[in-house]
Structure 1
């Protein structure tokens, strides 16, 4: 069996500075702010607000990075956002505060900024090394919460602890490695738009796995999410898969 290749660390002080800033913002600040928002606002509402980030990314990347602003992409994003709005309305519990709204907007801004930083400054580096360095930096910064973590782990049910470990391994470590690889080869606006599929997938999985039949409004929202995402990213992904491998990031 061949040995795994050694990590290829970034070169240059500017790249390292961006990597540290990105790791702190993405794997520490964003996570803390989003969780704080969901403690003071309905989780569905927080998710809907945070999901304006793909629109911010698409517009900024189109105007500044030269990715372009195809009407199909913008219309697809807006349709998906309308779908997210319907899903949120169907699941809204009435829990809403101004503080939660502000924190959700900050989380959306951090989301957009981190994706744009990664695409512009870090996508030419080794995606696996960059991702793991970012996670490590975020973990080190988050050690300020270690005293509380120790007490909570000691008193928490083992099932909850295992769920937290799962969140760290699958949706964070594995998912962000896949995201980093994809961002090397796809435009930021296009890739971020794919996250608009998540609310629809959640509705379907809750139905299939948990037996939670979605209300009609949520089902309609899921259809809009899927239709909008298909319109936004379908043709671009097909063209991206057909492009020459020596033209990363262009569609």
Structure 2
């Protein structure tokens, strides 16, 4: 016998609550028949909240028991719910995964093979571009977080706002393999200072900080990821410099 859940969600002419839709979808995927009750006005919504002593909608009831909003419903079904401020590596995994797939696609499309050094070059360069975009979304917020550990930014505050543009510039030029006389020194400069700063903050001073590597609102812990980002720029700078000027 199919179990029924009562769902109360806002459905108005100018607003349909997205979490109400997600709650309805979750209930249906869990095999529930949904008694879908629409709150079609602010007055009706406020009256519902007052009646049940809740601050938000949607609200789900199962067997007469109030479960709560969408997050509470996910917890009820044993699903993970990310808490505010919780540490996560998801942004980094997404960036590096997509960068790797793009590098492979470029190699297949332009070279006809993935067994080429350009795959690694593209992967690092594209990753640099993605990481720069994350920072450029809110340069002010990034630069503030950056001041927690970057040694040069602490000496010269404007560097925190210049860094994302330098990383983007170096990454873009390296994707095309052009102007190495510009991309190489930029990558080596910001990569070396960054690596030293992160190593000192995390491994010498033993500080627990948030990484500014994916932007100012990041919940990625400072450490291996930041160090990897900077080491990638150093390696790429050394390789592209050697390739351009010696090979």
TM-score scaled by length of structure 2: 0.29
TM-score (normalised: structure 1)? 0.29
More strand by share: 2
Larger radius of gyration: 2
